[in-house]
Structure 1
Amino acid sequence: MIIEQSTFSREAGAAIHLAPNANGILRRLGIFAETFGANTMNRFTEYTLDAEQIRSIDLRGPNKQWQHPWLLAHRIELHNKLKLAAEDVNEKGSVQLRTASRVKAVDPKSATVTLDDGTEIKGDFIVAADGVHSVARGHIEGCDTKPFSSKKSAFRFLVDRQLAAEDPATFQYVQTLGDLHVWHGSDRRIVMYPTSNNTLLNFVCIHPEIETAQDSGEGWDQSTSLDKLLQVYESFDSSVLTLLSKADPRSVKVWTLLDMKVIPTWTTENLALLGDAAHPFLPHQGQGAGMAIEDAAALSTVLPFGTKKAEVPERLRLYQNIRLERAKRVQQYSRLAGKDPGEQDQGDMYGYTDYNFGHDEFDNAGQKFREWQWKRNPNVYWRMPVAFGPMPGPRQTHLGAARDGNNSTFTTASIKFKTSRTKLQNLFPPGRQGWRFKSTGTVAYASISQTTLNKMDWLGGSGYKHLGLYVHGVEYVKKDGSIVNGTYLPILFENLADPIISGREELGMPKMYTSIDVYQRSKSYRIRTGWEGALWGDFLLEDLVEVDASSEKGTISGEADAGILIHRYMPKVGAHNKGVAADEHVVWDAFDQATTTPRTQKIYKAGKARFTIDALDWEQLPTMHHVTSRLAELPVYEIVSAKVVDGVGVPDVSSATPIE
């Protein structure tokens, strides 16, 4: 049940930022704000109070690094869509919405809410999203913190864009669609951006609180006058004042911008705070609603259907642990971004954006929840990948003599694709200290690469096949701060036990078994992978055309990698040592140090390629479903390239070595 204080009969008419981090969550829930009037954020332009342009940044290019668009939506339309989604009787999570119900008190232990009229409503737990003046917050020990004024207030109102477009004095400010404008004074600013398919202009006019103290209030609906607005900004250029004067005098509101110290905890027993109740935001980064949306995503992740009631308090604490540091950090960024010129350094604005936008809370919370589940029973063995036991291999004979791979042959088929960085980074080793992507964007690249090896001396002249996921653009930061760049290999499937066992023991390679069937024809190359007849992978390259071998570069991953990054894990032996690593470190295989240099003979480029991964289930893939299910989650935004490479000379990978 949702208990709502208002009647939803009149909602605040204002716009809202749906930055990529928040918009991505809504889109996963099937809510696409562009279908109900949201428009893209295309440009950011700043002026002095005299209307002299400081800078204008085209955001259409940079925005391509994010998985989801940066939208400017109308708050009422978003509220309506969320309300419809919550009440949808066809959905598993449909809820009862009770409006005009003011909460007087909550009991965290019994998960009971008491309304003003004395009605008591009991549930399994309480999520208090009751804003900066939260009633529920006072029921958490040590959280009697009260919000305080930031010494700033803000006017807010909407203006019909057409009014500005028809006036020669203001047309310059609306001629570009999706343009956010900011006019800066020494201690005040005006922020304007469009919404509702660029038909309305949303204004937030931030100024010293003292100038509207008689009108400002703690709510959003404190009316003031248009004359007061124009008086506060009388020093601004006449074109800006003309723009402000187009506001409907009845629509101008003013409110005090409140801040609050970080509270020690968001939860107690069966109660958790969410959004402004836990962490109110100043509006200078447009992330207040976004952080509340992220909170909700994390909470839903740790409390899936079927959660036992007895586990709720622990899972609520997990929710807080997942969210606390990020919310605290964005709060601080918002404070710094709101500093007036001449005050202390505002910090790295671009860095703030990278941090704010480069996050997917479903992916982040999902990984944290998995790690929490793993840690609940620490008395277990970890096996590659990230643990399974290893065994000897091809780097030496049984007498210790070195192998020669110069005459061995290889055929490598690779498909490179664009995908989600936030999904890929969840395949980093648990804890993932030191691991990161070079790019701050949420789009990344990976390759599925399959190699057929033959004429291997250590296998009596025969060979085997392997297929791996190669994640490009990865960095590992060593303890001394230096960085190793490479391609990360989280999983390598092979169709023969001998190379699997030897590669895992001697090198720490994350190998698993799968069947690999290759059907190569003159114009196509097809790979099917499976286990005991259960097929989980289908990879196809078509319209192959031979190209100049000297014009292409490629290694075992199909790309010109400097080397492969691997996480090695070896479990400690002994019933009393379950869950203890005997050896764990990062391995670097630098190709320029290989004992044998592969020699490319032929390269074929594919006109088109595709692949599908079917996770199947535990019964069909009893020893590998935990891997295939994660691979199947990877989205394919675009197939970038595909090729087949034939060559001679297979390194024995003895160049693999610990990074530190």
Structure 2
Amino acid sequence: MAANLIHVDTNGSIAEKEVRGLNIVIIGAGIGGLTTAIYLRRQGHKVMMLEQSRFASETGAAVHLAPNANGLLRRIGIMAEDIGANLMESITEYDSSNTVLRDVDLTEPNKMWQHPWLLVHRARLHEELKRRALSADGEGVPVQLRKASRVASADPVSATAVLESGESVHGDVLIGADGVHVTRARVVPNRNIAPKPSGKSAFRFLVPREAALSDPLTAQFAQRHGQLVIWYGRDRRVIMYPCDSNRQLNFGCIHPSEESRGANADEWNTAANKTMLLDVYKDFDSSLLALLNKAEAASLKVWELLDMDVLPTWVEGRLALLGDAAHPFLPHQGQGAGCALEDAVSLSVVLQRGTQPDEVPEKLRLYETFRMERAHRVQEYSRLAGRDLGGEKALDRPEPFTNYNFGHGEFDSSTDRFRRWDWARKPHLYWRMPVSFGPFPGPRQTFDGRPREARHSTFTTASVKFKTSRTVLQNLFPSAAFRFKSPGTVAHASVSQTTLHGMDWLGGGGYRHLGLYVHGVQYVRKGDGGVIDGTFLPVLFESLTDPIVSGREELGMPKLYCEIDVWRRAGSYRIQTGWQGAAFGAVALEGLVEEDAGGDKGTIGGEDDAGILAYKYVPRVGERGKADVEHATFVPHADEARVVPSVVRRVWRAEKASVSFDPLDWEALPTLHHVIARLAEIPVLEVVSAKVVEGVGVPDVSSARRID
């Protein structure tokens, strides 16, 4: 299955390329398996499900959709309210004598959670998941469901499931979602940990709410919508809550296993009779017994509640376990289905669109890393919640458990952890503030860390070189390590303005910059006293935030924002700079005459300096006047030319030119007045040369390096 798809990676990179989805085989078409299939289908993968039953129907009656689970269903468009789910509105606890131990209104607590806490009929949820997985509607290729396909063994290395019929089903990924009784010894080699009895079993059945309301003895238990009720005995309890739009009451009656063990004791899910149920709870209040007596004998089932020691791993090669196959839950917190949904979502995050078959083993290990700690912690909370406490309510303070269970969004959690894993594999990525959002793309690097080359980008540079006072310029040097090569009192500087266009990192657009360049400067290194010849850049104004941020933080360039307007005519080139409408700078080149571009190197001022010198300074937070970072930087021209050579296409020489700055005042330039005032002090003693240069190829300044 191949298609031209738009791939968005963890850094936001968008690239159109051919993506071939994985072939994924899922063993088990329960709630966890179907949710996994839907999420993986949406990632562009082809999914086949192997279900041992003929109808792929779910046993059991109702299921909790706590906020952590409900949000994951909503992400794939399933609004459980539309299939009969009702809101969990209150919890009432009784002892065996029907004395109220606790009555909690959940109206306010429910406002804490992004998604509502719902109670849904298991069969309705299962049917909706199956419909969406198999439907031709929706994103991706419909899932294939093979019924009556019991898996006898599996090979994690080749991702092959062998059916009892002898048929082999191959894939790129094999997912075990077939519940607590998956044969781990055959599926995950050297993993002989098996489910074990917890000592408790549970009767499960439904009672029509109307049947309870019509009986005066039981009506009190069915009057409130969305009410979960628990009756506690010393070593047993009854849990009741509504589902199916409050039309059905779902029961889970947990008790010592030996009291319901009968002729079919070896069966996990056995038919139970009402006499046995009533006998187990014979010491409870008569009103509860009357309620239990309304169970339909034909639908009454009993489950042995199984637990399991922690598996050392859920994955092997190309195979991964999820849900009860990896971490069976006792039912005391209603998180079994929820954690299976979380597993499904986490798998879809690591097996994202574009995952290649050879990446599968590593990605499955990542899934285990993301999920194992949380699943085992919720598993342990469920054990604690189900402990016998002599007839008292099970949890005096359930909030820590509830907050941990409910206050989690697995899609967002796995996505973030996947991003961080991906970034950690690419230590060369650029990081800039704000770091909360990950590494930054920019002029030197694409979204996925590849170097950019602006060979087709264009530039137009207008520069005016002039004689000026060495003393005035020297006052702009940031440290004593900077000096002029010449001892004379006359120095040379240039004001240069460049317009860039066709920059891929700016969506094909561009920006303008204008700087003061001081020629003939040397930097004396602290360690060995070596000298670097260069052009010193005390300030560079730019018209766009993105290059300002990138250049200041990555390169240590002294960049500031201002508006830069350019008027170009046949024989003239005029530049005006300003801030919020206050104009402070003007550069004019007049009498432009085109000349042969062959000998022009495109350097500012035509100097032979080795590169650009600048000074990086980052203030220390909370300690004014102190620096966190302070050092010189250098950009060698030769190295820059090797990255992306600039080719001069046309050159115009100006007959005359002028440069002027007006500092205005602090009211007009509240952030720039001190800078422009110093620029205005620089005398233009004589214009040496002025020109406009057009060309192609824009170096990315990636050769910038720190000095000292």
Q: For 1:249, what is the secondary structure of its paired residue?
A: coil
Q: 1:350 aligns with which of 367, 376, 399?
A: 399
Q: 1:27 aligns with which of 69, 74, 79?
A: 74
TM-score, normalisation: structure 2:
0.56
Cα distance, 1:130 vs structure 2: 1.3
Task: Give the 3 Å change call, closer, same or farther, for CA 375–352 of structure 1 in structure 2.
Answer: same
Q: 1:234 aligns with which of 282, 294, 312?
A: 282
Is this contact kept in 2: 1:106–1:136, CA < 8 A?
Answer: no
Task: Give the 3 Å change call, closer, same or farther, for CA 37–343 of structure 1 in structure 2.
Answer: closer
Partner of 1:527: none
Task: Give the 3 Å change call, closer, same or farther, for CA 136–145 of structure 1 in structure 2.
Answer: closer
Partner of 1:436: none
Cα distance, 1:292 vs structure 2: 0.6
Deviations along 1:273-331, one digit per CA (max 9) or x if unpaired, are: 11111110000010011111100000011112321101111111111111010111000
Q: 1:322 aligns with which of 367, 370, 388?
A: 370
Could you list the runs of 5+ residues in structure 2 that have no partner in the other structure? 1-47, 443-475, 480-540, 564-618, 626-668, 672-708
Partner of 2:576: none
The aligned amino acid for 2:418 is F
Deviates more, 1:345-354 or 1:310-319: 345-354
Alpha-carbon distance between aligned partners in 2 of 1:89 and 1:133, rounded to the nearest angstrom: 32
| TM alignment of 1:96-115, pairs within 5 A | 96-115=144-163
Q: 1:199 aligns with which of 232, 247, 250?
A: 247
Task: Give the 3 Å change call, closer, same or farther, for CA 289–389 of structure 1 in structure 2.
Answer: closer
Q: For 1:314, what is the secondary structure of its paired residue?
A: helix
Q: For 1:307, what is the secondary structure of its paired residue?
A: coil
| TM alignment of 1:412-561, pairs within 5 A | 495=545
Partner of 1:44: 91
Cα distance, 1:383 vs structure 2: 2.1
The aligned amino acid for 2:416 is Q
Cα distance, 1:140 vs structure 2: 1.4
The aligned amino acid for 1:247 is A
Cα distance, 1:594 vs structure 2: 9.4
Is this contact kept in 1: 2:97–2:284, CA < 8 A?
Answer: yes
The aligned amino acid for 1:197 is S
Task: Give the 3 Å change call, closer, same or farther, for CA 160–369 of structure 1 in structure 2.
Answer: same
The CA RMSD measured in Å over matched residues stands at: 3.9
The aligned amino acid for 1:83 is K
Is this contact kept in 2: 1:14–1:158, CA < 8 A?
Answer: yes
Partner of 2:63: 16
The aligned amino acid for 1:349 is P
| TM alignment of 1:238-637, pairs within 5 A | 238-342=286-390, 348-378=397-427, 380-385=428-433, 386=435, 495=545
Total equivalences in the alignment: 437
Q: 1:78 aligns with which of 125, 139, 144?
A: 125
Q: Looking at CA atoms only, which structure, 1 or 2, has the larger radius of gyration?
A: 2
Partner of 1:180: 228
Alpha-carbon distance between aligned partners in 2 of 1:65 and 1:126, rounded to the nearest angstrom: 38
Is this contact kept in 2: 1:464–1:496, CA < 8 A?
Answer: no
Alpha-carbon distance between aligned partners in 1 of 2:560 and 2:70, rounded to the nearest angstrom: 39
Deviations along 1:38-91, one digit per CA (max 9) or x if unpaired, are: 001000110111111111111121111111111100010011001011111233
Is this contact kept in 1: 2:327–2:375, CA < 8 A?
Answer: yes
Is this contact kept in 2: 1:189–1:206, CA < 8 A?
Answer: yes
The answer on 1:87 being equivalent to 2:134 is yes
The aligned amino acid for 2:180 is V
Alpha-carbon distance between aligned partners in 2 of 1:45 and 1:165, rounded to the nearest angstrom: 17
Partner of 1:634: none
Deviations along 1:393-449, one digit per CA (max 9) or x if unpaired, are: xxxx9779xxxxxxxxxxxxxxxxxxxxxxxxxxxxxxxxxxxxxxxxxxxxxxxxx
Alpha-carbon distance between aligned partners in 2 of 1:513 and 1:267, rounded to the nearest angstrom: 53
Deviates more, 1:202-211 or 1:139-148: 139-148
Is this contact kept in 1: 2:188–2:316, CA < 8 A?
Answer: yes
Cα distance, 1:495 vs structure 2: 3.5
Alpha-carbon distance between aligned partners in 1 of 2:548 and 2:352, rounded to the nearest angstrom: 41
Alpha-carbon distance between aligned partners in 1 of 2:126 and 2:378, rounded to the nearest angstrom: 23
The aligned amino acid for 2:373 is E
Is this contact kept in 2: 1:220–1:255, CA < 8 A?
Answer: yes
Partner of 2:109: 62
Q: For 2:149, what is the secondary structure of its paired residue?
A: coil
Is this contact kept in 2: 1:16–1:75, CA < 8 A?
Answer: yes
TM-score, normalisation: structure 1:
0.60
Cα distance, 1:343 vs structure 2: 10
Q: 2:273 aligns with which of 205, 221, 225?
A: 225
Is this contact kept in 2: 1:186–1:340, CA < 8 A?
Answer: yes
Task: Give the 3 Å change call, closer, same or farther, for CA 218–97 of structure 1 in structure 2.
Answer: farther
Cα distance, 1:250 vs structure 2: 1.5
The aligned amino acid for 2:70 is N
Task: Give the 3 Å change call, closer, same or farther, for CA 153–495 of structure 1 in structure 2.
Answer: same
The aligned amino acid for 1:127 is I
Alpha-carbon distance between aligned partners in 1 of 2:135 and 2:148, rounded to the nearest angstrom: 20
Task: Give the 3 Å change call, closer, same or farther, for CA 589–238 of structure 1 in structure 2.
Answer: farther
Alpha-carbon distance between aligned partners in 1 of 2:309 and 2:234, rounded to the nearest angstrom: 26
Deviations along 1:129-158, one digit per CA (max 9) or x if unpaired, are: 111111255331331101111111111100
Alpha-carbon distance between aligned partners in 2 of 1:254 and 1:515, rounded to the nearest angstrom: 76
Is this contact kept in 2: 1:217–1:254, CA < 8 A?
Answer: no
